[in-house]
Amino acid sequence: MQHIVIKSLLGQNRHRCAQALSDQGIDSIEFGHWLAIPSQRLLLVFRHQHCVAIDDYQLTV
């Protein structure tokens, strides 16, 4: 279910993305041109305040 919500964020503005994640109980961290979703190891990438990509990331030690 969370993955469907996250995919639906493409094209949405930053505020709508943060609100949708919060409404679903998904924690996120805003920084720069990204919105990180640590529980899914995903980054929402923003350009001109709209989500243009969803990328995964790996933790480094």
pLDDT tens, residue by residue, 21-37: 999 999 999 998 999 99
pLDDT digits (tens, 9 = 90+) for 35-60: 999 999 999 999 999 999 999 988 77
pLDDT value for 61: 72
Mean pLDDT of 1-28: 90
In a domain, 61, yes or no: no
DSSP β-ladder status, 50-56 and 34-37:
unpaired
CA pair distance 7, 55, nearest whole angstrom: 11
For the chain, the domain total comes to 1
- Domain span at 17: 2-56
In a domain, 41, yes or no: yes
CA pair distance 60, 47, nearest whole angstrom: 26
In a domain, 47, yes or no: yes
pTM, to two decimals: 0.84
